[in-house]
Amino acid sequence: MTVTSWNRLAGTSVLLDGFHALKHAVRFGAEVPVAVAVDREAALALAEELAPDVRDALDALLTQVPESTYTSLVPRPHPTAVAALAVRPSRTANLEQLAHTPRTAPIVVLDNPRNLGNAGAVIRLAAGFGATGVVTTGTLDPWHPTVVRGGAGLHFATAVERLGVDELPPGPVFALDPEGDDIRGIKLPDDAVLAFGSERSGLSPELRACADHLLSLPMRPQVSSYNLATSVAMTLYHWSAGSDNAL
């Protein structure tokens, strides 16, 4: 029954790859119709140790399956041998959250990102800082299984959507660029839209044209760039240090 249910739902659901992804999804209210573990008791013991707040929910969700069944359900086995399928949040609800004003935390925009793992790391950061959401432009799907794996299931803790540059949520756009003003001299407002270009090509002309402010991060001469997730972390930390609404 579990395999049948899994196969029926797999094409339209979000893959939660590993214990931590399932833990976070459950903690932040995801609807999880099916969840499996190779060693159910070990998974519940991990919950007891690391996430007692969701232990009972996982107890009700997890079905033990043979390792061969588990590996047939996932593209890349996770060390915790836990996997689940979750219902993707409503795009309408996410767009409403992104557009709602007044905002008490920024929105992060990844302009035409290329690396799935980096995108997942950014979503994890944004959730940790309590950002309103993460928007991607371009072709990368922010709900791709590899992105969700990199985000450790924290897509369900913030609004994550793909939009065109002309569809960005309201708010002043602060775009990170090496030629911008030093971020240390700028107080970022809570309704800021923080835009980051790809590591290879930077900001697209379309996003640069709609930026209200260009900002740069402090960097030692002759160092080419920071990792994308590092840049987002530095910028969100700078916002949080100056905001009364930060966590």
For the stretch 202-241, pLDDT in tens is 899 999 999 999 999 999 988 878 899 999 999 999 999 9
What pLDDT score was predicted for residue 59? 98
What would you report as the CA-atom Rg of the chain, rounded to the nearest whole angstrom? 19
Residue 25 scores a pLDDT above 80: yes
Is residue 247, in this structure, part of any structural domain at all? no
Q: Which two tokens stand for residue 97?
A: 């959250």
Q: pLDDT tier at 92 (50, 70, 90 boundaries)? A: very high
Q: Which residues contact 68 (CB under 8 A, 6 or more apart)?
A: none
Residues 222 and 108 grouped into a single domain: yes
Residues 80 and 113 grouped into a single domain: no
Q: Which residues contact 197 (CB under 8 A, 6 or more apart)?
A: 111, 112, 175, 176, 177, 203, 204, 207
Residues 49 and 137 grouped into a single domain: no
Which structural domain, as residue segments, surrounds residue 59? 2-86
Q: Are 17 and 76 in contact (CB under 8 A)?
A: yes
Q: Residues 181-206: what's their mean pLDDT?
A: 94
Is residue 229, in this structure, part of any structural domain at all? yes
Residues 145 and 40 grouped into a single domain: no
Residues 48 and 109 grouped into a single domain: no
What pLDDT score was predicted for residue 1? 57
Instruction: Report the residue count for the chain.
Output: 247
pLDDT tens-digit series, residues 103-157: 999 999 999 999 999 999 999 999 999 999 999 999 999 999 899 999 999 999 9
The pTM of the full predicted model, rounded to 2 decimals, is 0.94
Residues 16 and 123 grouped into a single domain: no
- The Cα–Cα gap between 204 and 212 comes to 15
By percentage, how much of the chain surpasses pLDDT 70?
100
Is residue 246, in this structure, part of any structural domain at all? no
Residues 68 and 95 grouped into a single domain: no
Residues 138 and 56 grouped into a single domain: no
Q: Are 44 and 59 in contact (CB under 8 A)?
A: yes
The one-letter amino acid code at 172 reads P
Residues paired with 17 in a beta bridge: 83
How far is residue 8 CA from its own chain's centroid? 26
Domains of the chain: total: 2
